[in-house]
Amino acid sequence: MATRTPELVKSGDFNVIGKRPIRHDGVDKVTGRAAYGADIFLPGMLYGKVLRSPHAHATIMSIDTSKAEAIPGVHAVVTYTDLPEPGEGMTELNESGEQATYFKAYNMLAREKVLYDGHAIAAVAATDPHIAEDAVRRIEVEYEHHPPIMNSQQAIDSNGVLLLPDIFTDTEGEIDAAPSNITKHVIYEEGDIEAGFAAADVVVDNEYETATVHQGYIETHNATARWHEDGTLEVWCSSQGQFGIRQELSDLLQMPVSRIKVTPMEIGGGFGGKTTIYIEILAALLSKKTDRPVKMTMDRAEVLKATGPTPGTWEKAKIGATKDGKITAAHVTLYFEAGAFPGSPLAPGCMTALSPYSLKNFRIDGYEVLVNKPHSHAYRAPGSTMSEFAVETAVDEICETLDMDPLKFRLLNASKEGDLRVDGPPFTRVGNIECLENIENSDHWRTRLEQSKEPHLKRGRGIASGFWMNGGGMSSAQGRLNPDGTVTLLEGSVDIGGTRTSVAMQLAEVLGIPVEDVNPIVPDTDSIGYTGVTGGSRVTYATGYAAHEAAHDMIRQMIDGIAGYWDAQPSDVHFEDGQFSSDGKSLSFKKAAKILDDEDVGILGTASVAPSQPGSTFSVQVADVEVDTETGKVQILRYTGTQDAGIAIYPPYVEGQLQGGIVQGIGWALNEEYFYDQDGRLRNASLLDYRMPTALDLPMIETIITEVPNPGHPYGVRGVGEVSIIPPPAAISNAIHDAVGVRMRELPMSPPKVQKAIAANGG
Amino acid sequence: MATKLISGATLVTSVINGDEITFQCEPRDSLLDVLRETLNLTGAKEGCNNGNCGACNVIMDGTLVNSCCVLAVETEGSRISTIEGIATADGLHPIQTAYLENAALQCGVCTPGFIVSTKALLDKNPSPTEHEIRFWLAGNLCRCTGYDKIVRAVQDAAEKMQEA
């Protein structure tokens, strides 16, 4: 039992960890009984719907809600005037930094202007969703139109068109005098890049673009609110963290968090996009105004138009290397579209861009720009897929110029323990090299790719790496011993993909009981200590850490209780391999539970922890593609990925995170993009036209779990949720180059673009 | 919606998970609306409401349908099986067990639709190839799993149902 020294940790040493139990919430989820956010129905409930702007950029001249309010069955209409006037404060954006509360309020309900197609203007509550929809259509809004700003170049060269009047570029604390659509310029640098490039035998210098893409969770946003007569508010919604939702509601409603209770419903996917509020605030305002519970759900078009997709980017990567393959310098420039309001994952994009490599001379310039698109939000390893796409493609271009094996090049330049990260701190023990070696030794890498017999089908192989920091932060857990020897585990982290079990397994490991004897529950904000979002790949790491500590607290209390029962000193009672023992006497965990209950000794182990060494992680992936040179279509033939899990607590779900992230990355690489017309209207706001990968598009996704234990966790855990999405775009771009000799530097690499590139290259 | 008499509503009778049920609906209500809002069968999920994601799939008279694309009034006299009708008092259906054992779900919101689609496939084709499975399930979107473990679960279920 007890904590093992991480250096000694090997998966095989455990009783529970590393096994493949059935997840606790599985039966509810395969029978349709699990209650997601939209599955709640309260007595007397009204239905809310939202009026959204059809325009990308316009001043609101007037809003007339009178015709809507006159419809029978309509109980209330709210606009921005129903929100308390926001103060000067800041609101957390969780994985995307923080944002002025004023802008958060402005995004929830438009005030002076509408700033993107889909921007919420008003919300209606009615007795029936159809009536609410009818009422929304009767709200009259007059607009004065402005030219939309739809990409970084337009934002920079805007001819005086500004989205927001009071934005002045902040360059590392220096504020420009003139207003701009560029919110900030961040710089990370070390060494001397000029000297580094001068020492290079080969330099590549190219530009890259990535499209705005959406997280694409299958469950749309939902919220049900009930404002009570005593001024307290209850909210039920699916989110990546009940405490974050509570905080944002508190900030916008200007009421203490203790007056708000948020109950996390089962969540149908988030990937970063559900770490914030959208309609939760509207449901709350409508409930306050109507004195009835109000339920709201978004439709798919609303999700695509008006939640938080990831920024589109324009990037430059210049890398120099010696002829024997050592990188001498790198300069990366990133332009991230924040969307209509400041705040984007620019910093993590900068911090990860070059991290797979050990570098002496580098500079990263990051710019955040405002465009008339929805305010961007976190998407799995936020910012990194874009920045590492540029760098990992540029690295392949260096290898091509040097005629060098891209895996050997990466091994030669790999970052390792003690190297300084771009953002300052040195890497702790990391598994970059082990991941590369696991791919080098994989069946996939060692099997030669055969060419097709069809002359128009060309095959190629590409490789790319990815790096993600991972997150720590506060998590809480409570273990309550039941008389039958089972444990009820309260843990604060919303479970998106099996973490009830990965957290329960860590508690069970300490207690020496089967994980089936643990009943994990994710409670509301009043029933468990503060726990950060299910984001940053932090749950199995930080909440698992809390469960580990809570289990030890239980053992301490049980030892005290059994010492009393045996009339012994607690220091003479020992717990090992599931048995309490002292002076020749011994009790199993189950028998001890029964005796303690008979003796009226209650056992409630608790822990709130904030571990700060999540252990960064790497992923290395290899893609085989087949390019149809006639149509430009790219088919994935074979795909293998590895990532460093530290220690894989619950391996089937570690594999699942790898496979899921890889396939999201494949969609980002090949198909997915926001398609806006000249007027700034989103023209593909459906799951038919926003084309995510289907089962038919893909082969099996082969996984290899690399295990380099994290010294910052009692069981060696590293977060596994995010890094896998980063390598696919570059791995596939590099594979396309290997197949047909063209460099794709713009995402998505959709058939028309690939075909055009092949034609430009002489067919 | 079930609690009040709706003007212009129609009474419809169909057999849902073996029970003959009469419900009222408006002409514009979809089968999905009625299942979720009127009959409280919330296992079918709304992911897109226009037939692109498969999260609301049910079997109607032996045919797999998107319940969001079927008007409730069209179901008069039909036999409908939803996710709630797949398991029995004797336990889970082998398809459900295979999804659990193969870790073929993460967030689980698409899972009811996938299981219903899998049942419709295996009812028709008890030993599908991998390509046939992928083709059949192309109408169900999953954003979490990358489909690998889902395809394996279907293969596993098919094998076990053949043995049984």
Name which of A2-6, A30-34, A294-298, B56-60 the model is least confident about. Answer: A2-6
Give the Cβ contact number of residue A541 at 10 Å. 30
- DSSP 3-state of A120: strand
% of chain A residues with pLDDT over 90: 95
Most B CBs within 10 Å: which of A19, A27, A29, as the mutation test of the B interface? Answer: A29
- Does position A95 have pLDDT exceeding 80, yes or no? no
Q: What is the pLDDT of residue A2?
A: 36
Residues A266, B143: C-beta atoms closer than 8 Å: no
- Does position A379 have pLDDT exceeding 80, yes or no? yes
Please report which residue ranges of B9-147 form alpha helices under DSSP H: 31-33, 94-101, 111-124, 130-136
Pairing of strands A202-210, A457-468: unpaired
- Does position A1 have pLDDT exceeding 50, yes or no? no
Q: What is the pLDDT of residue A674?
A: 98
- Does position A5 have pLDDT exceeding 60, yes or no? no
- DSSP 3-state of A124: strand
Those of residues 94-153 in B touching chain A at CB distance below 8 A are: 96, 99-103, 105-112, 115, 133-135, 137-152
- Does position A244 have pLDDT exceeding 50, yes or no? yes
User: CA-nearest residue of chain B to A301?
Assistant: B48
Q: Are A286 and A108 a contacting pair, CB within 8 Å?
A: no
What's the pTM?
A: 0.97
Compute the distance between CA of residue B5 and CA of residue B7 in angstroms, rounded to an integer. 6
Most A CBs within 10 Å: which of B107, B111, B136, B151, as the mutation test of the A interface? Answer: B107
Q: What is the pLDDT of residue A7?
A: 42
Nearest CA of chain A to the CA of B136: how many Å? 8
- Does position A233 have pLDDT exceeding 50, yes or no? yes
Q: What is the pLDDT of residue A12?
A: 58
- Does position A184 have pLDDT exceeding 90, yes or no? yes
Please report which residue ranges of B2-147 form alpha helices under DSSP H: 31-33, 94-101, 111-124, 130-136
- Does position A51 have pLDDT exceeding 80, yes or no? yes
Please report which residue ranges of A430-523 form alpha helices under DSSP H: 432-440, 443-446, 499-511
Provide, as residue numbers in chain B, all residues whose Cβ is less than 8 Å from the Cβ of A687. 47-48, 50, 52-53, 141
Q: What is the pLDDT of residue A3?
A: 39
Nearest CA of chain A to the CA of B106: how many Å? 4
Burial-class residue A563 by CB neighbours within 10 Å (0-12, 13-18, 19+).
middle
User: CA-nearest residue of chain A to B141?
Assistant: A694
Nearest CA of chain B to the CA of A701: how many Å? 6
% of chain A residues with pLDDT over 70: 98
- Does position A11 have pLDDT exceeding 90, yes or no? no
pLDDT in tens, B64-76: 999 999 999 999 9
Compute the distance between CA of residue A203 and CA of residue A190 in angstroms, rounded to an integer. 19
What does pLDDT average to over chain A? Answer: 96
Which residues, listed in sequence order, are joined to residue A233 by a DSSP beta bridge? A227, A260
Q: What is the pLDDT of residue A13?
A: 82
Compute the distance between CA of residue A553 and CA of residue A607 in angstroms, rounded to an integer. 8
What does pLDDT average to over chain B? Answer: 95
Q: What is the pLDDT of residue A96?
A: 61
Compute the distance between CA of residue A664 and CA of residue A748 in angstroms, rounded to an integer. 12
Across A23-31, average pLDDT: 98
